[in-house]
Structure 1
Amino acid sequence: MRVRLGYVAIALNLPKTTSSSNVTYTLFKKLPSEKRQLEKLKTTTLNNLNNLYKILKYNVEQGIHFYRITSALVPLATHPEVSNWDYRRIFKKDFERLGSFIKENKLRVDTHPNEFNVLNSSKPTVVDNSIKNLQFHVKLFEDMNYPLGKMVLHVGSGEGGKALAIERFISNFEKVPAEIGRRLMLENDDKTFTTAETLELCKSLKLPMVLDVHHHNCNNNGENLEDLLGEILATWDKEQLPPKMHFSSPKDGALDRK
């Protein structure tokens, strides 16, 4: 069996090279003019895009063919008060360059929208904002012309009990645009939804499951992971990509969530 290892975020051998430089809305509003605001967004985004290209190039040189792209690549891309930020048009060629490099070198990339994206929230505004943020990730892949791009998401909140929370996820999932739904993967988390619970939801919605081994060690009901592995892998049977799993080295032991 061929295993392709990858990683997320920073390449330690590339000092001061991050694709996650941010512009807070507070700083954005303090800038004296719309021109200065736009210049700040453009400068930061271009630096992020160039650094992402540098990271991907480094990965190819090191024989690393899997990478998780940051959700912070384009600052304030989905902020409701930033309406004139046409980053897709401005950086069209930069996104295309990234996509061409990814495809030419047979890389695999995906994203992991942050924990504020809660598709099963009981609050409609949270669900709406989550869908908006997921749409941003879809647009990244579209602008890169990278049809294999997928997004990892946790099931989310356990509010009201897990059974009700899973019902909300299913109900809200049925409302998301198709271009989001076909790119989603679900991952078990370290506090709320176990491997077995996430697996059952994936089977119900016909979504691929990303097994996080460390999360399973932190959050399980005594299930033997080997007993679940075959069914987890089977959720990828109709996918173009092979299964993905997460492995990590906790700071203070196997059950440390840090």
Structure 2
Amino acid sequence: MVRYRLGFPVKVLGAPLPSHDSRRWQNRPHLSVSLAYLRDIFEYLHRHDIRFYRMAGQLAPYLTHPDLPDFHRQLEECAVELAALGDLARAYRLRLTLHPAFYVQLGSPDPGQVQRSIQELDAAAALLDAMGLDEDAVVVIHVGGTFGDPEATRARFAERVNALRPATRRRLALENGDRHHALDASLWIHRRTGLRLVLDLLHHRCLNPAGYPVAEALALALATWPPGQRPKVHFSTPRTALRRRILHGQEHLQFPLINQHSDFLNPFEFIDFLLLAMERTERAFDIMLEAKGKDLALLRLREQLRTYAPDLAPLVG
């Protein structure tokens, strides 16, 4: 029985498959084009037995752009296609999620930015609803910046989450940050909003002022998901390679940043995490692999598990 489903975000590297219609507005991009691309991606995922995928955040281009009203009715215009694609996702037992862009900042002191953020979240939730997906299809968000006062930002964030439409709020899950708003802040928000928490393990290692060990952090995050819903976590390993760039004929060395994702995943770190998770909880959950290698990193990790952890490999799908 598969206990941990592996997924990857957005871009497919193992085949020439666009993730969404990325044309500029002058070329009349449309959700219908993105959905045709997405159907091809679903077929690719099915062939490779991948059951967890993060869709592109801009499937419906310019959907909420205030100056481009011609794009605002794409969900209604594609209602049949959305429902059919949701049926295909269920037939393939495929869990789908979304992660809106960085400008979604509910904690901002700027009313205009908050209103745009609400529109983006409403649209993301409406898209998942139009596909007929269950509550495991979450929209993952961050608190974002601190705007000079992290406590006040978190308070504004919680207040605005609670004021969202119920249909939008039920889709949301909150991810801990790597520079601001660590797991302890996420737990504070969870207690005031009920938002489910997505533990990003690399972010947690980069920012953990409360000093939670990974096992405790995982248990705390998983416990925020109601029974019957399947939690998700984000797993990545930091980039360690030295980069060399030639600029104006001279070589420049770039050291990797600790919060940058590696191209592929360290299989031994992943195995250690699985063993830790199995010791701490019997609950099944999904693991979004955040690596530059995308689907190629996922497929390689599966191979490595069969080699280096054959007893664990059957638990991972």
Is the TM-score greater than 0.5? yes
1:23 counterpart SS class: coil
1:202 equivalent in structure 2: 190
Conserved? CA contact 1:69–1:109, under 8 Å: yes
CA contact (8 A) 2:203 2:259 kept: no
Bigger Cα Rg: 2
What secondary structure, in the 3-state scheme, does the structure 1 residue paired with 2:70 have? coil
CA distance in 2, matches of 1:254, 1:203: 33
For structure 1, which segment, 179-188 or 47-56, has the greater mean C-alpha deviation from structure 2 after superposition?
47-56
Partner of 2:70: 84
Whether 2:213 is the aligned partner of 1:224: answer yes
Question: Alpha-carbon deviation of 1:237?
Answer: 2.8
Q: In structure 2, do the counterparts of structure 1 residues 71 and 236 end up closer, same or farther at CA, with 3 Å as the change threshold?
A: same
Q: Does 1:109 align with 2:110?
A: no
* 2:134 paired with 1:131: no
- AA matched with 1:47: V
Contact 1:208/1:236 (<8 A) preserved: yes
How far is 1:48 from its partner? 1.8
Secondary structure at 1:5's aligned position in 2?
strand
- CA offsets, 1:76-102, max 9 Å, x none? 111111213332233222212210101
TM-score scaled by length of structure 1: 0.87
Aligned-residue offset at 1:254: 8.1
Check if 1:19 corresponds to 2:16: no
In structure 1, C-alpha distance between the alignment counterparts of 2:168 and 2:232, rounded to whole Å: 18
Q: CA deviation at 1:243?
A: 1.1
> Does 2:7 correspond to 1:9?
no
User: In structure 1, what residue type is equivalent to 2:260?
Assistant: R
Take 1:160 and 1:20, find their aligned partners in 2: how far apart are those partners?
35
Equivalent AA in structure 1 for residue 222 of structure 2: L
Where does residue 31 of structure 1 map in the other structure? none
**Contact 2:54-2:97 at 8 Å conserved across structures:** yes
The TM-score normalised by the length of structure 2 is 0.72
CA contact (8 A) 2:20 2:33 kept: no
The count of aligned residue pairs is: 242
The AA in structure 1 aligned to 2:223 is A
Q: What is the SS of the residue equivalent to 2:229?
A: coil
Q: Which residue of 2 aligns with 1:256?
A: 259
2:161 to 170, 173, 193: 173
- Asked whether 1:56 is paired with 2:42, we answer yes
Mapped to 2, the partners of 1:103 and 1:227 lie a distance apart of 33
CA distance in 1, matches of 2:232, 2:191: 16
173, 189, 200: which one aligns with 1:212:
200
- Which of structures 1 and 2 has the larger relative contact order (alpha carbons within 8 angstroms, sep 6+)? 2
| 1:32 alignment partner in structure 2 | none
Letter in 2 for 1:46: S
User: In the aligned structure 2, how far is the partner of 1:130 from the partner of 1:65?
Assistant: 29
Identity fraction in percent: 29
Measured against aligned partners, the alpha-carbon deviations of 1:21-62 in whole angstroms (never above 9, x if no partner) come to 32334xx2xxxxxxxx6xx224xx333211111111111111
Gaps of 5+ in 1: 29-36
Amino acid aligned to 1:56:
F
Residue 99 of structure 1 is matched in structure 2 by 86
Q: Distance in 1 between matches of 2:223 and 2:76?
A: 39
1:145 pairs, out of 110, 132, 151, with 132
CA deviations 1:54-74 (Å, max 9, x no partner) are 111111111110011111111
Separation (CA, whole Å) in 2 of partners of 1:194 and 1:89: 38
Q: Distance in 1 between matches of 2:48 and 2:260?
A: 29
Structure 1 stretch displaced more, 156-165 or 73-82? 156-165
- What is the rounded CA distance, in whole Å, between the counterparts of 1:257 and 1:75 in structure 2? 27
SS in structure 2 of the partner of residue 116 of structure 1: coil
Aligned equivalents of 1:178 and 1:47: distance in 2? 29
SS in 2 for 1:4: strand
Contact map agreement 1:218 1:257 (CA 8 A) in 2: no
RMSD: 1.9
Q: Specify the SS of the correspondent of 1:186.
A: strand
